[in-house]
Amino acid sequence: MAGNYRSLHNAQTTEQGRLVALRQAREAWSGADDPVARLYRRASTTLSLELLLGIFAEELACALPFGQLVYRHRLGHQDFVYSTGVGGPHRCDYQLTLEGINYGALCLQRRTRFHEEELEIIEYLLGILICPLRNACQYALVEQAALTDALTEIPNKRALDMSLVRDCSIDDRHGDTFTLILCDLDHFKDVNDTYGHVIGDHLLQATARALREATREGDSIFRFGGEEFAVILPHTNLADGREVADRIRAGINGIRVPCGNQQVRVTASAGVASHRLGETPDQWLARADDALYRAKNAGRNCTHVAHIIAGSETQSA
C-alpha cells in the first residue's frame, strides 16, 4: 500500500515539474525580444497578406538594414503587390515556394551589397514566414472568390455593396467626388430566348471586357445583376461620368458574337448619379437606378443622368 502511495506521489511530482517547465518555457518564449521570436509570435496573429508582409518587413529591419522590400504574387484574377521603402542598386530575389506551390516573389534592395551572413538571416526569416504566407494567400483567394462573379471574373454585387459603403464614407469625410454608372443590356432576355444561354454568356463576358477597356485602372466595375453592370468612378464629376457611360455603351454596341452564320449584338442603357454628401449607399444606388429606368423608358440605347437642382432631382437625357 505504501509503495503504491509513493508511486502516485512521484507521478504527481513529475507531472507538476513538467507543467512548471512548460510554463517557464512559455514565459521565456513570450518574453523573448529578438526578431526571430517576435516574427514567430506576430506572424500567427493575422490572415491579412498586407499586414503579414508589414510585420515581416518590420522584423527584418530589426535584424539587418535594407532599403526596399517588394512582394508580388498573382492571386486568382488579380495581381497583388506590396512595397515598402526605397530601393538601391544591390538586390536579392527569392521565389517563395512550399510543397512545390509558388506563393509569390520577394525582392530586397539597398545601396550596399548583401553579405553571405545577411543572406542566411533573410532566408531563415523567410522560412518562418512561408507557412503564414501560404495561409494568408489561401485566405485571400477565398475572399476573392466570395466577391467575384464566376462567369465574367469581375467583382459581384456583394463587392459593389462594400464599395458603395466605403466610397460614401470617403466622400463624406474628405469631399472626394464619386460617380456611379448602372448599365443594363437591352432586351437581353430576347437574346437568351432566341440564341440560347451560351451565346448570352459570351455576350456577358464580352461586356465585362468592354467595361475594362472603357474605364481607367482606378475605376471599379461590377456585375450587379443578370445583365446589369455597375461602375464606380473616383474623382469624377457628373458630366465626365456621362462621357464614360457613353463610351461604355459604344464599346458594348461594337460587340459581335458569332452564332452560325449570324453576328449577335446588343445595345445598352445607362443611368449616372454622383454621390451627394450625407447620402446613404442605398439612396445613391436608387438615384442611379432611377436614371437607368428613365433611359429604358426613353427608348433604350441611351444615357440618362440624375441632376440635383436646388435640393430637388430632375432627369435629363
Active site residues: 227
Rounded to whole angstroms, the Cα distance separating 108 from 131 reads 20
Residue 261: φ, ψ to 5°: -100, 20
Enumerate the H helices of the chain as residue ranges. Answer: 2-31, 35-43, 49-63, 116-146, 157-174, 188-195, 197-214, 238-253, 281-297
DSSP 155: B
Nearest to 274 by CA among 215, 219, 233: 233
Rounded to whole angstroms, the Cα distance separating 286 from 275 reads 11
Rounded to whole angstroms, the Cα distance separating 241 from 233 reads 7
Q: Count of CB atoms within 10 A of residue 289's CB?
A: 19
- Which residues are paired to 153 by β-bridges? none
Nearest to 156 by CA among 247, 226, 242, 68: 226
DSSP 3-state of 46: coil
Q: Are strands 268-274 and 303-309 parallel, antiparallel or unpaired?
A: parallel
